[in-house]
Amino acid sequence: MRHRILVPLLAGGSLVLAGCGGNRHDEVSRAIDSVAAIDQENMQEIMLAAADPAEAVTYFTGAVERNPGSISAHRGLARSLVRARQPAEAVTIWRKVVEMPETTLEDRVMLADALLRDNRWDQAEATLNSIPPTHETFDRYRLEAMIADNRKQWDKADHFYETAIGLTARPAGVFNNWGFSKLTRGEPREAERLFTQALRHDPTLFTAKTNLVLARAARRQYALPLVDMTQTERAHLLHAMAIAAIRQGDESIGRGLLVEAIDTHPQHFEEAVRALRALEGNVRAG
């Protein structure tokens, strides 16, 4: 009796599956395509964020060749070229991106970024000027600040730096750039404040540590700031401070800082050794 019931149920189940087989096949195909698209997107994000720049360029070059109509592949290639320090090539790809149907205003911002990296300031400014002022993003204002800096339009630069900082959760780089701007204007005290802000947001930013040391040295403060640093970083910061001191005529202080840098470095510090020898040679010659 049990078998007589089971067989019809199985048969009925087979008929149901057969009847919707076509629909299920389509659904499975769509699901596979969806997963593949997600995997592809994840792979692109990984290549952009974590891969070696040269490997990322190779990956996205292949992606563009396989799918020349993919704007995401072109964007990935352009960004990878920037990371690989090939801005001229990146400009070429970004120009293609901004001509594609799915392009956005942010793509033009990224084109301006690549143009700046390739030292094409006028073209970068023209590209930014072509973007409506209502498009207010971190990268747009970051670039606007750099262009205003280059034009020595200090008030505009300060405004754009401040605006950019308000549009990002990671403002360390902008604080560092703003501080360097202040340093070049002859405002080392204000520059020091901005470099300190940069390090509060990113204590690992070695460029800001170096700039902070230079800002202090510009005021003839030759003690290292109280920031986190490795032994190697400490040696390089002492070396940077020593060079600044020597250039300002404080040669005896510079010599002492060079000796300390050499003693501090965990390995042979050739650059500091050469600087010390050159300084001692100049003293003997004098």
What is the Cα–Cα distance from 138 to 143, expressed in whole angstroms? 9
What is the Cα–Cα distance from 269 to 233, expressed in whole angstroms? 12
CA pseudo-torsion sign 250, 251, 256, 257: positive
Which amino acid would we find at residue 36?
A
As given in the structure block, the two tokens for residue 177 are 């750039």
Are the C-beta atoms of residues 162 and 147 closer than 8 Å to each other?
Answer: no
Are the C-beta atoms of residues 77 and 93 closer than 8 Å to each other?
Answer: yes
> In the 8-state DSSP scheme, what is residue 261?
H
Residue 18's pLDDT is 37
Say if residue 267 is exposed, middle or buried (CB neighbours under 10 Å; 0-12, 13-18, 19+).
Answer: exposed
Tell which residue, 132, 135, 141, 134, has the closest CA to residue 113: 141
Residue 34's pLDDT is 45
Helices and strands: H and E segment counts in the chain = 15, 0
Residue 114's pLDDT is 97
Tell which residue, 72, 71, 80, 73, has the closest CA to residue 50: 80
Residue 269's pLDDT is 87
Residue 131's pLDDT is 96
Are the C-beta atoms of residues 225 and 215 closer than 8 Å to each other?
Answer: no
Q: Is the pTM of this model over 0.95?
A: no
Are the C-beta atoms of residues 92 and 111 closer than 8 Å to each other?
Answer: no
Domain ranges of the chain: 229-286
Residue 32's pLDDT is 40
List CB contacts of 183: < 8 A, sequence separation 6 or more.
191, 211, 214, 215, 218
Angle subtended at Cα 264 by Cα 261 and Cα 265, rounded to the nearest 5 degrees: 85
Tell which residue, 233, 226, 244, 223, has the closest CA to residue 269: 233
Residue 168's pLDDT is 95
Residues of the chain with confidence (pLDDT) below 50 = 1-21, 28-38, 285
* 131-166 pLDDT, tens digit each: 999 999 999 999 999 999 999 999 999 999 999 999
- In 51-156 the beta strands, taken as DSSP E runs, fall at none
Residue 20: strand, helix, or coil: coil
